[in-house]
A and B are shown apart, each in its own frame.
Chain A
Amino acid sequence: GAVVSQHPSWVICKSGTSVKIECRSLDFQATTMFWYRQFPKQSLMLMATSNEGSKATYEQGVEKDKFLINHASLTLSTLTVTSAHPEDSSFYICSARPERGRGQETQYFGPGTRLLVL
């Protein structure tokens, strides 16, 4: 149980184009989804937190107009990197946290999306 998928798993695009990454919770409903970025040999960097049906909360330093997040349903969140540039090349990972039941629920991660902007 608690499976999260991401699509695509990798993408190569030209500078200036926009790229959309999908994150789906396959066997549970997720009221909250998180988007991370990870550069080589570095820790996870939280970009934003999204709750179903409301606007995402972005971490300090993350441009909300560049990284558009939509969490339209309890099983799907999308991250769109608009007008991508080479410095946006990174490993993007989403995670999903199940609806809270008894006790603490943690987050379950997708497999990640490797983005390379030429």
Chain B
Amino acid sequence: LAKTTQPISMDSYEGQEVNITCSHNNIATNDYITWYQQFPSQGPRFIIQGYKTKVTNEVASLFIPADRKSSTLSLPRVSLSDTAVYYCLVEGGSNYQLIWGAGTKLIIKP
């Protein structure tokens, strides 16, 4: 059964690039990797999704190596408002399983 592991917390500073890595050693062939952002007392917000290689949108990039056993969410030039919990999700397969990571609390300092 797939399991996702991500760091419990990270600190960084405004203007820096932040990379959060999630490991999913047992990811299945049909699984996708999705990242969400959650602020306190709010529902998670979709950031980015990918299957392999690199995906980029207006807010983030997602890097997935060839073996797909990990993925890295990259947030360019973070600001204080990026302080939140970031979740890695492995989803898909024939039964549409959902394997959530425990979340990474990212704190951005001025």
Contacts and interface: CB of A to CB of B under 8 A. Distances in A.
B45 interface: yes
Interface stretch (B18-26, B74-82, B94-102): B94-102
Majority secondary structure of chain A interface residues (helix, strand, loop or mixed):
strand
A111 B87 contact: no
A106 B91 contact: yes
Contact of B100 (A4, A43, A93, A114): A43
B7 interface: no
Contacts of B15: none
Given A43-B102, A104-B92, A112 B41 contact: yes
A44 interface: yes
Contacts of A107: 91
Interface string A82-118: 0000000001010100000000101111111010000
Interface in A58-92: 91
Sorting the interface of chain B by its residue count into under 10, 10 to 19, 20 to 34 or 35 or more gives 20 to 34
Contact of B43 (A32, A104, A110): A110
B20 to A, nearest CB: 15
A111 B44 CA distance: 8
A93 B43 contact: yes
Interface residues of A, number: 21
Contacts of A13: none
B45 A109 contact: yes
B42 A111 contact: yes
A104 B91 CA distance: 9
Contacts of B49: 104, 106
Closest CB pairs A-B (n = 5): A109-B43, A104-B32, A43-B102, A112-B43, A109-B44
Interface of A: 2, 4, 6, 32, 34, 43-44, 46, 49, 91, 93, 95, 104, 106-112, 114
